[in-house]
Amino acid sequence: LEQVEKHLPHLVQVSLDNFSTVQPVSRPMVPAFLTFVVQPGSVHPLGTPLRVEVGVLTPDRATFLGSATVTLALEANPVGAKLTGTLTRPAVGGVARVDDVVIGAAGSGFTLIASSPGVPPKTSFSFAIRSAPLPPANLAAVASGTTVSLTWTDTTTDEVGFRIESALAGSS
């Protein structure tokens, strides 16, 4: 065999010349593609970590390659937010798992870009970061028999519903 880089997996091709000699040829299997194995969800609450997984694939896209590092950055950043957390991770078993990056401002249309040395970058699906809804204003409760009527002024424009909870006096 020819001199090979020992730290990289190798693809060995064997050619038969007139069915009598075996000529092995070895070349490193360098990563050639990135893919988001787990995409960011479509909506995340502000301040909560994103969970994404980026796969590093061999040129034939058939095998995950575990010897690369993956770096995440914001590609589309409509509000100038900052991305914090561990932005560079090693691929373990061919997949870099990220679970502690946070985007510091609310907005829609964010995308992440994953990169790894010598590999074309990959862009995630678009997603949004939503701030927590504001509390209602002018909350009032009127009891009549066994019925309690609530009224309030809605101060938020992007909530998808309301949750009303009750508790007995003195309980939590």
Position 21 pLDDT exceeds 60: no
Position 124 pLDDT exceeds 70: yes
Condensed to tens digits (0 to 9), the pLDDT of residues 45-96 reads: 999 999 999 999 988 888 887 778 999 999 999 999 999 999 999 999 899 9
Position 10 pLDDT exceeds 60: no
pLDDT band at 158 (very low <50, low <70, confident <90, very high): low
pLDDT score, position 24: 54
pTM above threshold 0.85 = no
* Dihedral sign computed on CA atoms, order 47, 99, 78, 126: negative
Question: Which alpha helices (DSSP H) does the chain contain, by range?
Answer: none
pLDDT score, position 26: 53
Taking the C-alpha atoms of residue 117 and residue 31, their distance in angstroms, rounded to an integer, is 9
pLDDT score, position 18: 53
DSSP letter at 8?
Answer: S
> Which structure tokens are listed for 120?
């074309």
Burial of 91 (0-12, 13-18, 19+ CB in 10 A): buried
AA identity, residue 32: A
Mean per-residue pLDDT over the chain, rounded = 82
Residues 6+ apart with CB under 8 A from 146: none
pLDDT score, position 28: 56
* Dihedral sign computed on CA atoms, order 107, 126, 40, 52: negative
